Amino acid sequence: VSSAVRVIGFGMGPQHITPEAAEALRSCDYVVAASKGAADPLLAVRRTICEAYGVELVAVADPERDRMDPTDYAGAVRDWHDARVEAYRAVVGARGGTAGFLVWGDPSLYDSTIRIVAQLGDYDVVPGISAPQLLAARHRMVLHDVGAPVHVTTGRRLPDDIAAGQTNLVVMLPSEATLGLLADLADWSIWWGANLGAPSEQLVAGRAGDVHDAIRTARTAAKAEAGWVMDLWLLRAPTR
């Protein structure tokens, strides 16, 4: 059966679907979505979008990710990707036609979809609004000083990146442990946001030493309201 694959970024929700993404969605025979169970809130957003554009959603159960081996993170991710490739290949191979893969934010940032569908054959990519873009817009700012760089990283890597001399960082996938680092960065500035684009959105900005408690409180509030929380930071060293 011949098939085509389209990777479509949908930003932080239905309000961010560009005309280009809408056109791509309408061209799909169905949309494949990973499901982490019936109550998966991110699956619910994809379902709303598919209904709005009249395209069938095919939920594929997400293979279990083995988080148990911290010594082989790369290996665990690889195995998980392989399992996802096989699950998607089975669906796309059986159905044929044009399959859409809806990606949260933009497919270029911390998302496996492109790496996975590249193993299925030919594909194209439609961009979406990413979380760092929405964070910058909400705080009405530029992500870097004039002519200066911004380093995009993860909470996991943050300590090493700061040790290596980075002074202006977008921090994605932060955890409770990442928040704990703020105690040692009291004079840095942080612009923080959670659940951006959702009704449960929270924003906090200020000197890290002054606002880290407010961030914890706001993070808890976002999670209580939505049942999930995704947050990110812009973190900047004090000017000397």
Chain contacts with ligand SAM (rule: CB under 6 A): 12, 104-106, 109-111, 130-131, 172-173, 193-197, 230-232
Strand 30-35 with 168-172, pairing: unpaired
CA gap 58, 88 in Å, rounded: 10
Strand 168-172 with 202-207, pairing: unpaired
| C-beta of 3 vs 102, nearer to ligand SAM | 102
Sign of the dihedral through C-alpha 153, 158, 164, 166 = positive
Identify the H or E element spanning 85: helix 73-95
| C-beta of 59 vs 218, nearer to ligand SAM | 218
CB 6 within 8 A of CB 74: no
Place of tokens 């612009």: 191
Q: Shortest distance, CB of residue 171 to ligand SAM, whole angstroms?
A: 7
Q: Which residue is nearest to ligand SAM (CB)?
A: 105
CA gap 97, 22 in Å, rounded: 18
Q: Shortest distance, CB of residue 223 to ligand SAM, whole angstroms?
A: 12
| C-beta of 108 vs 119, nearer to ligand SAM | 108
CA gap 105, 12 in Å, rounded: 6
| C-beta of 30 vs 110, nearer to ligand SAM | 110
Q: Shortest distance, CB of residue 231 to ligand SAM, whole angstroms?
A: 5
| C-beta of 194 vs 215, nearer to ligand SAM | 194
Helix (H, G, I), strand (E, B) or coil at 21: helix
The amino acid at 55: V
Q: Shortest distance, CB of residue 2 to ligand SAM, whole angstroms?
A: 29
Q: Shortest distance, CB of residue 212 to ligand SAM, whole angstroms?
A: 17
CB 137 within 8 A of CB 205: no
CA gap 162, 111 in Å, rounded: 24
Q: Shortest distance, CB of residue 24 to ligand SAM, whole angstroms?
A: 17
Identify the H or E element spanning 134: helix 131-138
Q: Shortest distance, CB of residue 41 to ligand SAM, whole angstroms?
A: 11
| C-beta of 104 vs 188, nearer to ligand SAM | 104
| C-beta of 100 vs 193, nearer to ligand SAM | 193
